[in-house]
Structure 1
Amino acid sequence: MVLEELNEHSITIKKVVEVLIADIEAGSELISSTIKNGNKVLLAGNGGSAGDAQHIAAELTGRFVKERKPLPGIALTTDTSAITAIANDYGYEHVFSRQLEAFAQPGDLFIGISTSGNSMGIINAIQSAKNLNCKTIGLTGKDGGKMNGMCDVNIVVPSDTTARIQEMHILIGHIFCKAVDALF
């Protein structure tokens, strides 16, 4: 079983390297230019993707590898009072879009994470980000779902296995953080 998991992981990494380098570079440039311009990065996802959003935000506000100033990375997945109030009053599919409307400014970047690319909460948040003149990056898997064509950059991990997709999302998030570190 262990060998099977490692082999599947290895195959997914090889596919990512083969087909996603340009998209990951485009995403790295987008997050770097956002930070260079003094704007913030807002992130959201559900379940494990919420954890990934929080992880990437923490790497920005704390540090990744290099000692540098703290940077504005905000995970919209952490305020349980806001999430439950918005879900109760407007529906769960609006918990991230409402927060974006409160916090995002033109020039900011929203990173929406959805393994299927079909999470309505993330899709609504992408639309809100666009309406607010924010740039958008999608981290998806499978076939990219409804997020295809919505994001400035949609990085679609070529796998149908949720665990492999999430593993690649955090790897891609770390690549983004390394690009940001290179600015300092």
Structure 2
Amino acid sequence: MTAEAGPGGVEALYPFLYSGRDDLASLLADVESSTSEKASEIAALRGSLAARFAWPIAECARTIADSFASGGRLLAFGNGGSCTDAQAFASLFTASAPPLPAFCLPQDAASLTALANDVGFEVVFARQLGALGRGGDVAVAFSTSGGSANLLRGLGEARRLGMVTVGFAGHDGGPMAEAGTVDHLFVVPSASVHRIQEAQTTLYQVLWELVLHELADVR
């Protein structure tokens, strides 16, 4: 999750912090009001996603569970803050009981930097998936825009290999929402990177729980 100072950045989000006021009580009241407003926004957004994705997320969970049950693996990836979401999602499965084979591709710093330096950053996930992915495995891409070139190249490689593809995006989904890009897509309809990533955290936590529930039924 990133935010830059200046127009449209941190100053636009929290103007009261840059106003030069020395009235502490008034400043704290504005901070409290801003915090309450943002908490209400994410609560409402999460509530709307429950109705929007109830069936699609259950269907996705069944597909991922089937992959694990058949010996498949989950490979997650993303850039920046979305990389940390990919890492958190993968770690939920590896920390489960019993543990499940899930990996976060950006954690392999040697491969990531070698590919970025020697070939190009747009291929860092596609090349890793080409080496590690197998038909029936699951590729999960995390994004706030849905438009990162390296994510789209990775998803394309995953589909070429016959992997199940899952995407998390924001706004309107961007290029990731185009037909034939991913099998299971979850778009958080917000213009705020902060709200998108907060809501995505809820979605992948629910997805993980549903996958474990499906696997328990299989076992």
Smaller-chain TM-score bracket: over 0.9
Pick one of 86, 89, 92 that aligns with 2:118. Answer: 89
Q: Distance in 2 between matches of 1:34 and 1:168?
A: 25
Q: Is the 8 A contact 1:35 1:180 kept in 2?
A: no
Per-residue CA shift, 1:61-82, capped at 9, x if unaligned?
112xxxx211110100101111
Q: Is the contact made by 1:16 and 1:158 (CA closer than 8 Å) also made in structure 2?
A: no
Match of 2:211 in 1: 180
The answer as to 2:102 corresponding to 1:69 is: no
Asked which structure has the greater RCO (Cα within 8 Å, sep 6+), the reply is 1
- The aligned counterpart of 1:169 is 200
Pairwise CA distance, 1:20: 2.0
Letter in 1 for 2:165: T
How far the C-alpha of 1:18 sits from its partner, in A, is: 2.7
Percent same amino acid at aligned positions? 34
CA RMSD of aligned residues (A): 1.1
**Unpaired runs of 5+ in structure 2?**
1-33
Q: Of 141, 145, 150, which aligns to 1:112? A: 141
CA distances 1:45-89 after superposition (whole Å, capped 9, x unpaired): 1111100100011111112xxxx2111101001011111100011
Q: CA deviation at 1:154?
A: 0.9
2:162 counterpart SS class: coil
Greater Rg over alpha carbons, structure? 2
Q: TM-score, normalised by structure 1?
A: 0.94
Shift of 1:104: 0.4
The answer (yes or no) to whether the contact 1:28–1:175 under 8 Å persists in 2 is no
Shift of 1:23: 2.1
Determine whether 1:17 maps to 2:69. Answer: no
Corresponding letter in the other structure for 2:202:
L
Verify the 8 A CA contact 1:106 1:133 in the aligned structure 2: yes
2:46, 2:202 within 8 Å by CA — same for their partners in 1? no
Name the SS of the counterpart of 2:167 in structure 1: strand
> How far did 1:22 drift?
2.2
- Contact preservation (8 Å) 1:15, 1:158: no
- Cα contact 2:87–2:104 (8 A) shared by 1: yes
Aligned position for 1:136: 165
Cα pair 1:109 1:134 within 8 Å, conserved = yes
DSSP-derived class of the 2:107 partner:
coil
Instruction: Give the aligned residue type for 1:126.
Output: L
AA of the residue aligned to 1:142? H
